[in-house]
Amino acid sequence: MSPLIIAIDGPAASGKSTVSRKLAERLGYVHVESGAVYRALTWQLIRDGLAGAAAETIVRHLSKVTLHFFMEHGRLRFTVNAADPEPAIRSLAVQEFVSAVAAIPEARAWVNGHLRGLRRFGNLVMEGRDIGTVVFPQATFKFYLDAEPQERARRRQREQQFSSQDLTASAEVERALLRRDESDQSRPTAPLALAPGAYRIETTHLSVEDVIERILAIISSGRNVCV
């Protein structure tokens, strides 16, 4: 039987990661953060001195980047050229280049090949920007999480443990998020968009638990296409 796939897409800091991780735990599925793969590729490019290089150079370099996925204590992990990419892939340097790398069609095809291969690990909750539209258009359930930009900036800031009193940092976080959203939504290949049949959940005023409850209610109702 083919594995069940739950696709969760949405813009930066919309709560996808926390919701997806907890949902996967509740359902006993494998959680896949597709953004981590784009970040890891970007990190390797930076390490190889190719940050900001021309797309053709990056495309030629893809064959020199090897990902290895494995399960450890019930969690999916991976290495990039045999190195653990965490926590380096959360750095500002990676954040700055990742959307440019993710806009290269061949880089996306390379990542998608790896993501589709993860079905060998079983049922998946996969989060990203194009999981329901491109990677797994046949996903069993598709969700699109959104939140107002200010709330997303606040969430990202909390994650990064900035002081909420630091207004400069807050404004900068919001600007960086909006820049990345703009780039992710306007790229010609696989832009961030609501997939056909996806349930959109506006999370600005919802807790993580509320969002998970809504998703579980839809899953248990068995209505796997939004009409």
Distances (CA, A) of 131 to 112, 168, 173, 186: 9, 34, 25, 17
Largest distance between two CA atoms of the chain: 52
The nearest distance, CB 136 to ligand CDP, in angstroms, is 11
Minimum CB separation from ligand CDP for residue 12, in Å?
4
155 binds ligand CDP (CB under 6 A): no
Closest CA to 64 of 49, 86, 84: 49
Q: How far is the CB of 203 from ligand CDP (least distance, A)?
A: 13
By CB under 6 A, the count of residues binding ligand CDP is 16
Query: What's the burial of 77, exposed, middle or buried (CB within 10 Å: 0-12/13-18/19+)?
Result: middle
Q: Binding string, 116-135, against ligand CDP, x = CB under 6 A?
A: ------------xxxx----
Binding-site member from 5, 15, 43, 99 for ligand CDP (CB under 6 A): 99
The length of the chain, given as a count of residues = 227
**Alpha helix positions (H), 48-81:** 55-61
Residue with CB nearest ligand CDP? Answer: 35
Select 59 or 221, whichever has its Cβ closest to ligand CDP.
59
What secondary structure letter does DSSP report for 41?
H
Q: What is the smallest separation between the CB atom of 221 and ligand CDP, expressed in angstroms?
A: 26
We find the least distance from the C-beta atom of residue 102 to ligand CDP, in angstroms, to be 3
Q: Which is nearer to ligand CDP, 199 or 220 (CB)?
A: 199
**3-class DSSP assignment, residue 55:** helix
How far apart are alpha carbons 21 and 74 in whole angstroms? 12
DSSP 3-state percent helix, strand, coil across the chain (nearest 5): 50, 15, 30
**Hunting for tokens 């930066």 — which residue is that?**
12
Residue 78 CB: number of other CB atoms within 10 A? 17
Of 84 and 223, the one with the shorter C-beta distance to ligand CDP is: 84
Residue 102 in contact with ligand CDP, rule: CB under 6 A: yes
Q: Please select the residue that binds ligand CDP; options are 31, 39, 142, 154, rule is CB under 6 A.
A: 39
Of residues 79 through 98, those in contact with ligand CDP by CB under 6 A are: 98
3-class secondary structure, 160? coil
- To ligand CDP, the closest distance from the beta carbon of 128 in angstroms equals 3
**Interface pick for ligand CDP out of 142, 154, 155, 180 (rule CB under 6 A):** 180
Query: Would you tell me which residues interact with ligand CDP (CB under 6 A)?
Result: 12-13, 17, 34-35, 38-39, 98-99, 102, 128-131, 180, 184
